[in-house]
Structure 1
Amino acid sequence: MRLVFMGSPDFAVPALKALIDAGHEIIAVYSQPPRPAGRGKALHYQPVHLAAESYNIDVRTPLKLKGNKEEIEFLKDSKLDAIIVAAYGLILPKDILSLPQKGCLNIHASLLPRWRGASPIQSSIRAGDKKTGICIMQMDEGLDTGDILLKAETDITTADTASTLHDRLSALGAELIVKSLIEQPHPIAQAENGATYAPRLYREDGRIDWSCTAQEIDCQIRAFTPWPGNFTTLNGQTIRIGSVEIIEPNQKIAPPGTILDDALTIACGQGLLRLTTLQKPGRAMMDADAFLRGFMVAKGACFE
């Protein structure tokens, strides 16, 4: 098939490669524009952009699509069978959605209608969901409201972080999008009951609220690894938390955030957690033992 692929981050790269390997003709790839990053402000190219260039595929990086006559004309003249979208970062307007013969297909990392929106992977872990998956969706003008073509499930384990689940779903999405183009299944409308929304995440979302239960904090820390990360403060210093272990899910013996012992056991609103990896200002993430050798943490002190 003649396709245009629209995607930006690592999540979308396996799908692009799978479509190429399956023999589809990728007319062009759309990705977010390169932007300055790091101390030197060198231009940072999106992973999909770099992957497309490695295949000598034309990469287009418009700042917007709505009202963009040049891009609309390009897509119209390309006589596409379908547009494939995976974490692209721009909303497709109606006049683009209607262009391809088979429409625009989105690879969405949740079991729709649960977790429509920008952060479905993180939201599913944070909520304590036991399952998630991939949906191949026929795009419409709504926010992830289109009909479902195919879906596949995967379990969320208590060891999963957003990073591990991201990689599993990325591979599953690649497999499913190729299958959907072969089988061309009949679309099924989403149920409106059970719809939930996954918001865009910001750094401040990673602040730990110690009044939550031990299980809720564990879910947040796994959900926000690696982005946006998790942090707390002690004596005015920001401490980043990489991982924790639930010691006791129900016990409540001290005010939330209290450091109970020299092993960094922390009282939560309900239950006890032990911090297993932490990061002090200006240093790398480290095991708790190494952290304590270089950072004074007094029993009875309280994280805020």
Structure 2
Amino acid sequence: MRIIFMGTPDFAVPTLAALHDAAHEILCVYTQPPRPAGRGKKLQPSPVQREAEVRHLEVRSPTSLKSPEEQARFAALEADLAVVAAYGLILPQPILDAPRFGCLNVHASLLPRWRGAAPVQRAILAGDTLTGITLMQMESGLDTGPMLATARVQIERKNAGELTAELADVGAQLMVGTLTELQTLHAVAQDDDEATYASKIDKAESRIDWSQEAEQVERQVRAFAPAPGAWFEFEGERYRILSAECAEGGGAPGTVLDDQLTIACDSDAIRPITIQRAGKPAMETAALLRGKPIPAGTILS
């Protein structure tokens, strides 16, 4: 098929690679413009742009698709289909209508659960045991379009980074398989009454609230790993917990209970496994405590 690909982060890269490897004709790749990153704040191309350039594909990075001129450029490609994976721009109706078979989105949840920007993190925070990929025919609503295919994935104890990577690979294979049958598939409407919304993550949500139950704090750690990282403060310095386990123990929430940095929650406790001080590399908790002890009895904010 003649395909326009639209995506930006690492999550989208496997789908682009799989479509190209399957000998579909990638007419053009749309992605977000390079952004400042790193200590030097140099402009860095998106992961999708880097993949597209390695494969010698044309890349376009408009800041908006609202202008008639940009919409005409898109339509002039005469695509059979646009495949969209975490692109990051709203697609106006003329864009949705331009390809012969419309626009097909790779969404990282089992719709209609977790429509919106942060489905992986919201599924972990909610304690869901199951998530997956939905391939959806795009329309003007937020992830409301009819569904063409789904694939299920167990969440288990995976963090957001691990789960996103797994879902990206599942989505890529599901897309390739679905396109072989696209003209015979019948899309299924979503049940709006069952919809939940995965709102964008606010940085304030990553600060640990020790008055929660230990199990919820552990979910918070997994939902925000590897970034932005669930964190607490000690002596004015920020510490990010990148992995943790629930442990037995009790005390006032936020109290350090022993020399392993077991921390009391509303019920039971959390024991960090991997932790990171501001500006330092991540390390095992035991190694961190050898250089920066946090004594039992300390009360963390």
Fold-level similarity (TM above 0.5): yes
Q: State whether residues 106 and 138 of structure 1, in contact with CA within 8 Å, keep that contact through their aligned partners in structure 2.
A: yes
Q: CA separation in 1, counterparts of 2:85 and 2:241?
A: 30
Determine the structure 1 residue equivalent to 2:267. Answer: 270
Q: State whether residues 240 and 278 of structure 1, in contact with CA within 8 Å, keep that contact through their aligned partners in structure 2.
A: yes
| TM-score, normalised relative to structure 2 | 0.96
Deviation per CA, 1:181-203, whole angstroms, max 9, x where unpaired?
11121100001122111111243
Given the alignment, which residue of 144, 168, 171 partners 2:169? 171
Determine the structure 2 residue equivalent to 1:64. Answer: 64
1:50 equivalent in alignment to 2:50: yes
Q: CA separation in 1, counterparts of 2:278 and 2:4?
A: 44
How far apart are 1:165 and its partner, in Å? 0.6
Determine the structure 1 residue equivalent to 2:141. Answer: 142
Query: 3-state DSSP class of the match of 2:193?
Result: coil
Q: Percent identity?
A: 49
Stretch deviating more after TM superposition (188-197 or 34-43): 34-43
Stretch deviating more after TM superposition (271-280 or 129-138): 271-280
Q: State whether residues 205 and 228 of structure 1, in contact with CA within 8 Å, keep that contact through their aligned partners in structure 2.
A: no
Q: CA separation in 1, counterparts of 2:194 and 2:281?
A: 41
Query: 3-state DSSP class of the match of 2:153?
Result: strand
Determine the structure 1 residue equivalent to 2:247. Answer: 247
Q: State whether residues 244 and 277 of structure 1, in contact with CA within 8 Å, keep that contact through their aligned partners in structure 2.
A: yes
Deviation per CA, 1:15-53, whole angstroms, max 9, x where unpaired?
011111111111100000012222222220001101111
Deviation per CA, 1:127-162, whole angstroms, max 9, x where unpaired?
11100000000000000000000000011112x011
Instruction: Show the 5 A alignment for 1:166-205.
Output: 166-184=164-182, 185-205=185-205
Instruction: Show the 5 A alignment for 1:213-232.
Output: 213-232=213-232
- Computed over aligned residues only, the root mean square deviation of the Cα atoms, in angstroms, reads 1.2
Instruction: Show the 5 A alignment for 1:97-116.
Output: 97-116=96-115
1:291 equivalent in alignment to 2:288: yes
Instruction: Show the 5 A alignment for 1:12-27.
Output: 12-27=12-27
Runs of 4 or more off by more than 6 Å in structure 1? Answer: none
| TM-score, normalised relative to structure 1 | 0.95
- Structure 1: give runs of 5+ residues left out of the alignment: none
Determine the structure 2 residue equivalent to 1:39. Answer: 39
Amino acid at match of 2:37: A
How far apart are 1:264 and its partner, in Å? 1.1
Q: CA separation in 1, counterparts of 2:163 and 2:278?
A: 28
Q: CA separation in 1, counterparts of 2:180 and 2:10?
A: 24
Q: State whether residues 148 and 187 of structure 1, in contact with CA within 8 Å, keep that contact through their aligned partners in structure 2.
A: yes
Determine the structure 2 residue equivalent to 1:237. Answer: 237
Q: CA separation in 2, counterparts of 1:296 and 1:227?
A: 25
Q: CA separation in 1, counterparts of 2:295 and 2:22?
A: 59
Determine the structure 2 residue equivalent to 1:209. Answer: 209
Q: State whether residues 201 and 228 of structure 1, in contact with CA within 8 Å, keep that contact through their aligned partners in structure 2.
A: no
Amino acid at match of 2:31: S
1:79 equivalent in alignment to 2:73: no
Stretch deviating more after TM superposition (233-242 or 142-151): 233-242
Q: CA separation in 1, counterparts of 2:113 and 2:227?
A: 21
Q: CA separation in 1, counterparts of 2:241 and 2:198?
A: 23
Stretch deviating more after TM superposition (73-82 or 216-225): 73-82
Query: 3-state DSSP class of the match of 1:193?
Result: helix
Q: State whether residues 203 and 229 of structure 1, in contact with CA within 8 Å, keep that contact through their aligned partners in structure 2.
A: no
Q: How many residues are treated as equivalent by the alignment?
A: 299
